[in-house]
Amino acid sequence: MPEGTRMAGNDWINSYLEAILDVGPGLVDDAKSSLLLRERGHFSPTRYFVEEVITGFDETDLHRSWVRAAATRSPQERNTRLENLCWRIWNLARQKKQLEEKEAQRMTKRRLERERGRREATADMSEDLSEGEKGDVVASDVSAHGDSVRGRLPRINSVDAMETFISQQKGKKLYIVLISLHGLIRGENMELGRDSDTGGQVKYVVELARALGSMPGVYRVDLLTRQVSSPDVDWSYGEPTEMLTPLSAEGFEEETGESSGSYIIRIPFGPRDKYIPKENLWPHIPEFVDGALNHVIQMSKVLGEQVGGGKPVWPVAIHGHYADAGDSAALLSGALNVPMLFTGHSLGRDKLEQLLKQGRLSRDEINATYKIMRRIEAEELSLDASEIVITSTRQEIDEQWRLYDGFDPILERKIRARIRRNVSCYGRFMPRMVVIPPGMEFHHIVPQDGDMDGETEANEDHHPTPADPPIWTEIMRFFTNPRKPMILALARPDPKKNITTLVKAFGECRPLRELANLTLIMGNRDGIDDMSSTSASVLLSVLKLIDKHDLYGQVAYPKHHKQSDVPEIYRLAAKTKGVFINPAFIEPFGLTLIEAAAYGLPIVATKNGGPVDIIQVLDNGLLIDPHDQQSIADALLKLVADKQLWARCRQNGLKNIHLYSWPEHCKTYLSRIASCKTRHPQWQRSDDGAESSESDSPSDSLRDIQDLSLNLKFSMDGERSGISVNENPLESEGSIDRKSKIENAVLAWSKGISRDTRKAGFSEKADHNSSGKFPVLRRRKHLIVIAVDCDTITDLIETTKKIFEATEKERTEGSIGYILSTSLTIIEIRSFLVSGGLGPNDFDAFICNSGSDLYYPSINSDDRPFVVDFYYHSHIEYRWGGEGLRKTLVRWATSTNDKKSGSEEQIVTASEQLSTDYCYAFKVQKPALVPPVKELRKLLRIQALRCHVIYCQNGNRLNVIPVTASRSQALRYLYLRWGVELSKMVVVAGECGDTDYEGLLGGLHKSVVLKGVGSNAISQLHTNRNYPLSDVLAFDSPNIVQTTEGCGSDDIRGALEKLEVVKN
């Protein structure tokens, strides 16, 4: 840097430091907190000046300022404070540089990991490469697993095409579920801008639900959100159901029914009387999923009665919006076995990258404030579970989603090419990335045709007429000459929106000032002191710039406007032949640009993000570099001064705007859903979940048994020989013999049940092994799920007997049943039962292998003690990697042994005996040397392998199971399959446990936490987590009760009494 420039920089820095000193003496005592922590509730000039210094100059300039202050030291307090302040700022700048260096190292490591994962995945898929795999297809023109975006699904641009689409949709009765959890959502009078959670996403999801409900072939759309019954918000947010008024949809006349249309369904979860920010919702997500599952099951039955011929009408897709809803949609779609869609809206990794680059917060501080690591994990899980990821722009795919472990555009292209050739991908899956810009409703919009110059001479004084909308008066009172073209910016006062650069560009361009006015619609405010520090800082900067450039009479910045005023603001700008500008540093999409175009406004927009696609489609404006002040001024001046260019941009926008209409959006959306493979619960029963019925006949129960017998297989030879139940059938006595054995066993078992049930007379007081309903868990008032992850089998036996003893009275009556939920195999469970003097019929179900297998006790328990539910396997097999996953895991184990072990002793080894078809198990000899679960999960995601990785049994075993399987999901399956209400379940868990522990406690079920049990796992398994358990566990929930340390059966019963499961 030239010396003159450096000196100028130093003088500039010193002027800022002098200004900081003028603030007062409080800075030095608390400088660090002022610099590093976000200050809320008041504007901090100190923070503003320091940020200008830190972001504007490198450490050399800052250090030179400190040297200068030290050299001119005097006894005066002012110079001493200047020295101290310079030193603190210089240190902060060095910290920022160190963070940037660490971030660069992290990105390099990430790039190398991704390249290695890509090489290994490609090696596994090393058959002849197709042309597509060689990379001849340009990534920007393709969507995952499909052809080019431009060629495969062209937008509808004619009446004939829409009529064709309508005819294709006739006869369909689709049920679609949308999820958007945070913020305040209602159909009318949306409070957009009330807080950071109630913004553009709220408007988008409501309008999407409304538009989909008006489309041909769609019978019902449910938008699921949180029910908020708080005195801090309007009563309407506490209403369980709200029907959305349909869009005007000419030509879409459809048969309507009692439950058809679009609805907002509010599910209660989290604190009942509080409206909480999205960062605090994570512990309550399982409670939402359980409530949503209950709603969807009931609604599917209702729709089945109305339009399904008596069979449930399951959702054709579940669509999550934002990370929290994506996490919920992944669990809900997995529980229901239906396709999932995901829209990120804004992404956690992108936000984390931006915050780390700023250098003002450490990674730990960022996570504490934003729960960013939990958010990122939810987005990764959404990639694992989604069939389609819908984005607004190509930029979101190329620059944001590629930051995630679960998405690699190069590997995606290889997988897509193999799918087109119908070649195996060896268990690898990648969601389809689809660009579908948000829609708008244009029927009510009438572009402004008149202009100020065409008005009558009666308005010669340029004042608004009484017929003008009130917001026009509010804006025009700021201007000396309101006839001048209006440059309109509509954005909240956020540094990312770059409003200050816009004001600088306007103020420093004299021709632009002379030709146009500037209107800034920056949300609503009462007083600056009531604003957040960030918003207040931006607003004060704007006011200072207006004063500096003497822009009074040329800039409007009204304090208040209503949502209904926004169309009138656009009309006023168009009436003056003005321009709309979005100068944000990055704009994920830019819905306001489409709105402005619909009202006939040419646009100027940032070249970073969605506006690139919008201007390419609409051809109605110019792109600018948001960091280049001159670029902004030149683009605005060009559009305002050149009337022919202005008219051409206006006309192009109006001509092409239909491409962003809601019918266009929904047509593409429904076409994408139609490309998904249909999935739904597989069993065919007319009385699923009919738990409340008291009139079950012997034939009903026999039908249950026969239904099971045709679809469940028995552990006949497996248990006796000690071989896994799901071993390769080629290794058995032959598939024909096996089939005949199963058929004979089914016949004998069914006959035996029939005799037993006739003897018992189906009395509720009869022995629970032979009474009416099968499985017996359907008859229980409560189910206690023993999910305690003990260190040894002996500890598990002791804990189980304490629980039995605590509920002995109810156990004898048969009102309480028990489910064992564990990482053990069914063979180990049988050994556990024998060692503890227990029988299979002491339990109603066994969830084993960390949730990948589900068994029931058999009636003929001496001969065949367990029945495995193969329906459950078909329910969880989505995206199971099979042999390709197993090979990758074996390779990982070999690599771990080579790296960590200095001797021939193996650290981690594959265990064929402990593995099943849906659980690959590995023995861990030295848990301290094995990489944490997050590292293995990352490795598998990079290779497009979708699964759950669980360290269990105090770190001595690793189970890898399907991504839709878990111990908590198995409980939801029991509700879905047998109608066992989740609110009647009580999960008994330790103080900690396996790495899937966080999924056990949340939800509608009640929980008892045994203090001191499983506590070793906290240090053994949970020290290297991406986020702390406290971020996801709501121990203050009324559904969770903790016992005292070293509890006995009386303590357990006391906890159950608190939960009102048993009576005193």
User: What are 180-212's pLDDT values in tens digits?
Assistant: 999 999 999 898 878 889 888 999 999 999 999
Q: Which two tokens stand for residue 1019?
A: 């240090």
* pLDDT of 20: 59
148-152, 158-162, 325-329, 1026-1030: least confidently modelled range: 148-152
295-309, 346-360, 369-383, 971-985: least confidently modelled range: 346-360
Counting beta carbons within 10 angstroms of the beta carbon of residue 766, is it exposed (0 to 12), middle (13 to 18) or buried (19 or more)? middle
Cβ neighbour number for residue 345 with a 10 Å cutoff: 21
d(CA 26, CA 958): 55
Residues 6+ apart with CB under 8 A from 179: 223, 224, 225, 292, 318, 319, 320, 321, 325, 328, 329, 332
Phi, psi of 952 (to 5 degrees): -140, 175
d(CA 951, CA 938): 15
Q: Measured at the alpha carbon of residue 258, what is the angle toward residues 256 and 264, in degrees to the nearest 5?
A: 95
Average pLDDT, the chain: 81
Query: Helices (H) and strands (E) in the chain — how many of each?
Result: 39, 27
Q: Is the pLDDT higher at 506 or at 45?
A: 506
Element housing 264 (H / E) = strand 261-267
**Interval 368-426: pLDDT, tens:** 889 999 999 999 999 999 999 999 888 889 888 999 999 999 999 999 999 888 888 98
Residue 909 β-bridge partners = 923
Cβ neighbour number for residue 625 with a 10 Å cutoff: 14
Phi, psi of 148 (to 5 degrees): -65, 150
Residue 174 pLDDT exceeds 50: yes
DSSP labels for 555-624?
A: EE--S---GGGHHHHHHHHHHTT-EEEE--S-BS--HHHHHHHHTT--EEEESSBTHHHHHHHH--EEEE
**Interval 931-942: pLDDT, tens:** 999 999 999 999
d(CA 162, CA 154): 12
Residue 907 pLDDT exceeds 70: yes
**Interval 957-979: pLDDT, tens:** 999 999 999 999 999 999 999 99
d(CA 167, CA 171): 9
- Closest by CA position to 237, among listed 186, 178, 288, 183: 186
DSSP at 849: G
* pLDDT of 450: 55
Q: Looking at residues 601-625, what average pLDDT do you find? A: 92
Please count the CA atoms within 13 angstroms of the CA of 757 that sit on its side-chain side: 24
* pLDDT of 983: 94
Top-confidence range, 116-120, 233-237, 364-368 = 233-237
Q: CA-CA-CA-CA torsion for 72, 75, 81, 82, nearest 10 degrees?
A: -10
Whole-prediction pTM value? 0.78
Residue type, 675: S
* pLDDT of 827: 95
Q: Is the pLDDT higher at 93 or at 322?
A: 322
Confidence of residue 757 (pLDDT cuts 50, 70, 90): very low
Share of the chain above pLDDT 90, in %: 52
Residue 902 pLDDT exceeds 90: no
Q: Is the pLDDT higher at 731 or at 1015?
A: 1015
* pLDDT of 963: 96
- Closest by CA position to 430, among listed 942, 824, 1049, 1023: 942
Local structure of 775: helix, strand or coil:
coil
In the numeric block, the tokens 């994920």 are attached to 588
In the numeric block, the tokens 């619609």 are attached to 521
Residue 764 pLDDT exceeds 50: no
* pLDDT of 109: 83
Q: Is the pLDDT higher at 179 or at 724?
A: 179
Rounded (10°) angle between helices 629-641 and 499-507: 60
154-163, 533-542, 967-976: least confidently modelled range: 154-163
Q: Looking at residues 717-738, what average pLDDT do you find? A: 39
Q: Is the pLDDT higher at 252 or at 331?
A: 331
Local structure of 478: helix, strand or coil:
coil
Counting beta carbons within 10 angstroms of the beta carbon of residue 531, is it exposed (0 to 12), middle (13 to 18) or buried (19 or more)? buried
- Closest by CA position to 194, among listed 563, 583, 519, 543: 563
Q: Is the pLDDT higher at 586 or at 727?
A: 586
CA distances from 263 to 178, 207, 496 (A): 10, 11, 34
* pLDDT of 916: 95
**Interval 224-241: pLDDT, tens:** 999 999 999 999 999 999
Confidence of residue 690 (pLDDT cuts 50, 70, 90): very low
* pLDDT of 580: 97
